[in-house]
Amino acid sequence: MFDTLSDKLQRVFKNLRGEGKLTAENMDAALREIRMALLEADVHFKVVKQLLENIKQKALGQEVLQQLSPAQQVVKIVHEELIKILGSHTARLRFANESPSVIMIVGLQGSGKTTSTGKLSRYLAKKENKKPMVVSVDVYRPAARKQLAVVANQIGIPIYEGQANETTPLELAKSARREAINSGRDVLLVDTAGRLSIDDALMRELEELKEALNPVEILFVADAMTGQDAVRTAEEFNKRLGITGTILTKMDGDARGGAALSIRTVTNQPLKFVGVGEKMDALEPFHPDRVASRILGMGDVLSLIEKVESTIDQKKAEEMQQKLLDNEFTLEDFRDQMKQLRKLGPLESLLGMMPNIGPMKELKNFKVDEKEVSRVLAIIDSMTKEERHNHMIINGSRRRRIAKGSGTSVQDVNNLLKQYTEARKMMKGFSGALLGAGKNMSKMPKLPKGLGGKFGLPGF
């Protein structure tokens, strides 16, 4: 979601690369462009003003570092100041000394509260080794309570659905807490009611819940797509309730990203989680330093590594590596590798974590058609085991049979086999080059021309 802002900041730094040193004149020109880039990204004007003042003070108030060019120095300063605005460290959830720890989920209707409640409960169970329970206290919208029940059932988290005589949010919440204590659940997530806009009745209801439940966390859910509206709403919720953090949803969308850079400053409370997709596992802790790096085109390799480590079967990965070294990488391995990659989520989001430097720039605008990936898998699945293990035996009649069985054309089969052959050569070359890293990096193989072709595959 930071692509537009990142592109504009990259242009600012590119213009500075031709300068021999930082001066008041070229710094002012750079700051004007940075200001426009931030405002167009929907960053709150007060945040923009504060950021620019800090950058200018640092850039012109210190001696120019001899080892850094003007562009590098400005990148360094902007990176430091973005981290300050986003939060100096990753904010973790707090838990009560006595169970259950109550977490209230608040926000406007349609911001993603119910889905975020489900995602957070799954995160607590999988990543924090907690035993969560959820409850919806939205007595005005039965559909909202039903939605949470469906989500809870989907991820295997217990839900308190209430009794017929429990008709108020407070009654439901108190009974849910008793049920959590009796059933040994150590976290209770309370999905509260929302409105299309803030009104006094909603706030009084939330204040009543806060007083009765004494929650350790009050997490405000904001839709990143709403930009400044999310910031203003967060500010109002914080004034009335004293929120302890924010969950920013739809961070994988094409929003301009201003809310992420503004909410923490306006509320003085940290961004704790971001929603990065529709699936229940698409919730990540917010890392200020990593987000700042992504905005400046430095990538987010740490998050990519963590995602891979938590998703990819390490044993299979080692076996695949050995097959590459031994030149035994088959179409069946190719299929299995693609299925492993799919578990990581949309491939475009993974490419977005790569640094925007050198040859990696070529991947920035890479588009992956998931339908074509499915078609590739269908073609391979239509092959016999013998064909998957030895692609050389796939002659014309076999190709026609495979095309018919997968609902594709012979040309599609031919394209896949060609790409597989090229990819196999490339991966073998990469394996050899990596083994000899440090000896002769200039011999690293280049991407085969047109690789990806019709199927839009990133190198395989």
Q: Which stretch of DSSP H or E encloses residue 104?
A: strand 101-106
Contacting residues for 23 by C-beta, under 8 A, at least 6 apart:
none
Contacting residues for 257 by C-beta, under 8 A, at least 6 apart:
1, 2, 4, 5, 41, 42, 43, 224, 295
Question: What confidence tier does 357 reach under pLDDT thresholds 50, 70, 90?
Answer: very low
CATH number for the segment(s) 305-455: 1.10.260.30
Q: Are 47 and 11 in contact (CB under 8 A)?
A: no
191 phi, psi to nearest 5 deg: -85, 105
Look at residues 133, 96, 105, 85 and name the one whose alpha carbon lies nearest to residue 243.
105
Mean pLDDT check: name the lowest of 126-140, 333-347, 404-418.
333-347
Question: What confidence tier does 450 reach under pLDDT thresholds 50, 70, 90?
Answer: very low
Q: Where are the domains of the chain?
A: 3-86, 101-298, 305-455
Burial class (CB in 10 A: 0-12, 13-18, 19+), 328: exposed
Q: Are 218 and 195 in contact (CB under 8 A)?
A: no
| Mean pLDDT value of segment 355-371 | 51
Q: Are 42 and 256 in contact (CB under 8 A)?
A: yes
| Mean pLDDT value of segment 216-241 | 86
The pLDDT tens digits of the residues spanning 192-208 come to 998 777 888 888 999 99
pLDDT at res. 449 = 39
Q: Are 263 and 222 in contact (CB under 8 A)?
A: yes
CATH superfamily for 3-86 is SRP54, nucleotide-binding domain (1.20.120.140)
User: In whole angstroms, what is the distance from residue 174 CA to residue 161 CA?
Assistant: 12
- Please tell me which residue, 234 or 434, carries the higher pLDDT value: 234
User: In whole angstroms, what is the distance from residue 410 CA to residue 131 CA?
Assistant: 52
pLDDT at res. 244 = 94
User: In whole angstroms, what is the distance from residue 51 CA to residue 78 CA?
Assistant: 8
Using CA atoms in the order 29, 31, 35, 41, what is the torsion angle rounded to 10 degrees?
100
Q: Show the CA angle centred on residue 214, arms to residues 268 and 105, nearest 5°.
A: 60
The CATH architecture annotation of domain 101-298 reads 3-Layer(aba) Sandwich (3.40)
Mean of the per-residue pLDDT values of the chain? 78
Q: Three-class SS of residue 176?
A: helix
pLDDT at res. 180 = 95
pLDDT at res. 45 = 84
Q: Which percentage of the chain shows pLDDT scores above 90?
A: 30
